[in-house]
Structure 1
Amino acid sequence: MPYLENMLPGPARRAPAAFAHRGFSPAGHENSMAAFRAAVAMGYGYLETDVRTSADGVLMVFHDETLDRVTDGHGPLAQCTAGQLRQVRIGGVEPIPTLEELLAEWPDVKLNVDVKDKAGMPLLAELIEKYSAHDRVLVTSFSDRRRLGVFRTLTRPAASSGGVVSLTALAALGRLGLTRTLGRAARMQAVQVPVRYGRYPVVTPGFVRRCHRAGLAVHVWTINERTEMERLLDLGVDGLMTDRADLLADVMRERGFWPQRVRP
């Protein structure tokens, strides 16, 4: 999958991917164009984001079900039209972007898109087709049904990470030699997981080895401390997602993996 081949400029060499989780904004303006621009200007080539569907069928870049936590609006996003949502401000400052805006802004930046509602499945597929973005979008969701629903109308494959059910099965049964079988059955090329589920450790040396033998990339979320970034990179993971894009950029730079996007 081209999405997973994070090749740096210059002589061909592959690097672990750095994902700016909802962009980068010390002011807390997550999932805003300003936050994404800050991450891209810093050198990020991968942006993680979420999408929800407006009342009139537009994919909006937004994480929560309701507007209250991060905007000056109130109530469920799904009950508002795109026009109404454009009047809402993240942190009282930034408008809520559409996914189409994000796709159009940087044709060379790769997006990790978490589909938050059923209505978003065909809409995401339509945008991937419109922008020929199959090689620069990874589709994921906590719901395997939503995730797989996106692929029904795609004319060619896009990368994907499993939902809760498929990832739980892979983590639990991988030691039985079923990692490759489960990965193929769940139609995923990457596993995007936390370091642990509750008290159960997920990202162990054995887990990483099993995934790599099965051809699956391992992306870990959401890592905001330097020591943990260093430990996971030493373990051989293929990508890290972080709210501290500034800190992860420093860690990657020290390892010779930065920038991951060179501005034209």
Structure 2
Amino acid sequence: MSTSTGRSGAPYGDEPGPLALAHRGGAGLAPENTYAAFALAAALGVRYLETDVRLTADGRLLCLHDARLDRTTDGRGRARDRTLEEVRRLRVTGGGLVPTLDEVLDAFPGSRIAVDVKDRAAVGPLVEAVARAGAAERVCVAGAWDGWLAQVRADLPGVRTALGWRALAALVTAARTGVRPHRTVATGEFAHVPWALVRRPAVLTRLVGMADGLGVRVAVWTVDDAPTMRHLLDAGVGAVVTDRPDVLREVLLSRGEWVVPAPGPARPRVRRAAAGG
């Protein structure tokens, strides 16, 4: 099974300095999880894109956050009850259509992709899609239970993962209580932590210190204002996940920490249905 990074350069997370992740492609700048959002973030020089995957009735992976189509498209009902062909007929609220993970991996070869897995049935198709693209080393799988992520690591050599929910809960509890976590907590390279859980400065400081000691990089989501971004960066977090990658870019530039060069242009190979404006 290939783990080539292709034209993407270093594997996911290997760059120095704090990472900027465009949440759902940069949902504050364009409709979430659309080609337009991913392309705009890439054009800003944001190398890390975050998305979610949902399975269709015919086993295809959509870049879609919700289980239902109602909020983000003009469709109704559950994504898993529709075939890909049926989803292609829907329009995303604000413009565009729903891309597949295969299309996004192909269209953005210079980007690293953080993928939130929303249900267990999507794990196998996710492994297959990443393997087909030869993209394991530029993908981080997150947002899932520990067992799902263990399966991903076993089936995709070279892939990065975040901590599963159980391991993350143990790390956050340790940060709140000050009791050092056991090394078995470090089941992945990243800890994707909701901002609401680390608002207390003491908890944030302990969490970052404990994670560093375990070799785990802390990524805090979802943060869209410059003061909070600066606060997190001052605390030493390894990544900030944001709907406003333009704001985070300016913050990092002002600190001399925008060290990742802009990737080349996306290859316009997403099917016309997915790239509609």
Matches within 5 A, 1:5-24: 5-6=14-15, 14-24=16-26
The ranges of structure 1 where at least 4 consecutive aligned residues each deviate by more than 6 angstroms after the TM superposition are 198-202
2:142 to 140, 143, 168: 140
Question: Contact 2:181 / 2:210 at 8 angstroms: preserved in 1?
Answer: no
Tell me what 1:48 maps to: 50
Matches within 5 A, 1:75-224: 75-91=77-93, 93-154=95-156, 156-173=157-174, 175-183=178-186, 187-197=187-197, 203-224=203-224
Residue type at the aligned position of 2:168: L
> Matched residues in 1 for 2:104 and 2:68: separation?
21
1:3 to 12, 15, 19: 12
Name the structure where helix makes up a greater proportion of residues. Answer: 2
CA 1:25/1:232 → structure 2, altered by over 3 Å: closer, same or farther?
closer
**TM-score of the superposition, structure 1-length normalised?**
0.89
- The total of aligned residue pairs comes to 253
Structure 1 residue runs of 5 or longer lacking an equivalent are 7-13
CA 1:221/1:82 → structure 2, altered by over 3 Å: closer, same or farther?
same
CA 1:263/1:138 → structure 2, altered by over 3 Å: closer, same or farther?
closer
> Matched residues in 2 for 1:241 and 1:28: separation?
16
1:143-169 per-position Cα deviation (integer Å, ceiling 9, x unaligned): 223333323322x13111122221111
1:112-165 per-position Cα deviation (integer Å, ceiling 9, x unaligned): 0001112210111112212221210001123223333323322x1311112222
**TM-score of the superposition, structure 2-length normalised?**
0.85
- CA RMSD in angstroms comes to 2.1
Matched residue SS, 2:135: coil
Give me the identity figure in percent: 37
CA 1:80/1:45 → structure 2, altered by over 3 Å: closer, same or farther?
same
**Structure 1 residue 87, shift from structure 2 partner:** 1.0
Name the structure where strand makes up a greater proportion of residues. Answer: 1
1:31 to 12, 30, 33: 33
CA 1:39/1:28 → structure 2, altered by over 3 Å: closer, same or farther?
closer
Matched residue SS, 2:104: helix
Structure 2 residue runs of 5 or longer lacking an equivalent are 1-9, 265-277
> Matched residues in 2 for 1:199 and 1:236: separation?
14
CA 1:221/1:179 → structure 2, altered by over 3 Å: closer, same or farther?
farther
CA 1:134/1:235 → structure 2, altered by over 3 Å: closer, same or farther?
same
CA 1:75/1:28 → structure 2, altered by over 3 Å: closer, same or farther?
farther
1:152-210 per-position Cα deviation (integer Å, ceiling 9, x unaligned): 322x1311112222111122236433243321xxx211111023339877852121111
